[in-house]
Amino acid sequence: PPSSSLAGKKIVITAGPTQETIDPIRFFTNRSSGKMGYALTKAARDFGGNVTLISGPTSLEKPDGVSVVNVKSAQDMYEAVLAEFSDADVVIKTAAVADYRPRVVHEQKVKKKDGDWVIELERTVDILKTLGEKKESQFLVGFAAESQEVETYAQKKLKEKNADMIVANNVTEEGAGFQTDTNRVTVYFKQGDVKPLPLMTKDEVAHRLIMMISEQLEKGREN
């Protein structure tokens, strides 16, 4: 779309899971494939955006015509996002970032022995929350991956993270959330509007979301 208000805008998108190291053999991760974030990357690029994709480990091909920063841990992702934040126009946080990581990272393989192994976890930094605190003119979009009470948690995230938009998906629903080629999302806007979208391919969901973001920037410009 040639007249998109995203043309030439710097759009930072995070995608995929993070990996939190336990020892040289093992790590904690999650079910994110990166598909949703990569679909958004392509849609934002096609709308004329100048896109930087910050990606956790995925098996997806690098999209053409965008800058890609590859990261592993939540801490890496935090540093990469922060480095791109100050001159960003839009930030979309699709990545499934670990909330916890092992308190101790073992330099050598932990050998098995009799009995249980208890691994203590500590909190990682909340990237979206930090961005919400630092935000100036950036349009901030968060995701919410929930398994129950989607609306309550999405509204809570909208406020607590100072986001402009939260895209919520119920990951227990058939055809939605992690790994599938489709998704069903509901969009919650800062101004209070709620927009449910039907089940569609992730490419179609991405296209609709990018159109909504473009409209919001357009409105912001008029006001």
Binding-site ranges for ligand PMT (CB under 6 A): 32-36, 74, 93-97, 99, 124, 126-128, 142-145, 157, 169, 171, 177-179
Span between the terminal Cα atoms of the chain, in Å: 23
Q: Answer yes or no: is 190 a known binding residue.
A: no
Q: Answer yes or no: is 157 a known binding residue.
A: yes
3-class DSSP state of 142: strand
Which residues have CB under 8 Å from 57's CB, separation 6+? 16, 17, 19, 29, 70, 72
Exposed, middle or buried: residue 8 (CB in 10 Å: 0-12, 13-18, 19+)? Answer: exposed
Which residues have CB under 8 Å from 152's CB, separation 6+? none
Would you please indicate which residues are annotated as catalytic (active-site) residues? 30
Q: Answer yes or no: is 111 a known binding residue.
A: no
Q: Answer yes or no: is 161 a known binding residue.
A: yes
Shortest Å distance, C-beta 206 to ligand PMT: 10
Please identify, using beta-carbon distances, which residue of 44 and 48 lies nearer to ligand PMT.
Answer: 44
Please identify, using beta-carbon distances, which residue of 6 and 128 lies nearer to ligand PMT.
Answer: 128
Tokens of 47: 């709308």
Please identify, using beta-carbon distances, which residue of 48 and 66 lies nearer to ligand PMT.
Answer: 66
Shortest Å distance, C-beta 128 to ligand PMT: 3
